[in-house]
Structure 1
């Protein structure tokens, strides 16, 4: 099945593995929070046990340098695509209120980005992530 929209998560390549996984999980949750239609239907197994839904379409994960993340955010803003973001400072916080305060304390051009999540029309996302490579 080909979707009209595309989901891309971009993670800074020099993070520890646990950090990459943590950032990806937070960003995927942020996308579903921003666009509830991304959540699929609940699952059920043949025994009649039910499970929670997953995101309804593939998620492409890209690796990037800090500069590439900054460029990606700039491209998204230029195209009117709202990104979910994760900054390095969020590794030191322990709750959502502190996360938002940490981001609010830094101007856009000085954000120490470690991850971005994007969801929009397929061609828009392709233009925004152009030049990035899929995460190995």
Structure 2
């Protein structure tokens, strides 16, 4: 199945594995939380046990250096494409209120991005992520 939109996560390539996983989970929650049409139906096993819905299309995971992440962030904002971000400061906080305060305390150009997620038309997302490589 071909989708007209793309969901992508871009991670900074120097993060340890646990941080990559943490960042991915957080930024994808932002995409799913603001785009309810992206969620599919509940799952159900053969015994009738219900499970929560998940995104109905693949999530592509990319990586790049800090400069590429900053460039992708700028490209997303220039294209008016909403994005979810995770900054280095969020590794030091323990709740949503402190997370928001940590981001609010830093001007956009000075954000130390660990990762971001975007959803939008395929070609726009591809342009935003130009230069990134698939996470491997």
CA shift at 1:48, angstroms?
1.0
CA shift at 1:72, angstroms?
0.2
What is the aligned partner in structure 2 of residue 98 from structure 1? 98
Distance 2:77 2:114 in 1: 17
What is the aligned partner in structure 2 of residue 44 from structure 1? 44
Matched, 1:2 2:9: no
What is the TM-score of this pair, normalised by structure 2?
0.98
What is the aligned partner in structure 2 of residue 65 from structure 1? 65
What is the TM-score of this pair, normalised by structure 1?
0.98
What is the aligned partner in structure 1 of residue 20 from structure 2? 20
Distance 1:64 1:114 in 2: 10
RMSD: 0.6
**Number of residue pairs aligned between Structure 1 and Structure 2:** 136
Regions of 4+ moved over 4 Å: none
Contiguous gaps of at least 5 residues in structure 2: none
CA shift at 1:82, angstroms?
1.1
Describe the superposition over 1:70-94 as per-residue Cα deviations: whole angstroms up to 9, x where unpaired: 0000111111111100000000001
The secondary structure found in structure 1 opposite 2:27 is: helix
What is the aligned partner in structure 1 of residue 126 from structure 2? 126
Describe the superposition over 1:79-121 as per-residue Cα deviations: whole angstroms up to 9, x where unpaired: 1111100000000001111000000000011000000000001
What is the aligned partner in structure 1 of residue 35 from structure 2? 35
CA shift at 1:62, angstroms?
0.3
What is the aligned partner in structure 2 of residue 78 from structure 1? 78
CA shift at 1:34, angstroms?
1.4
Contiguous gaps of at least 5 residues in structure 1: none
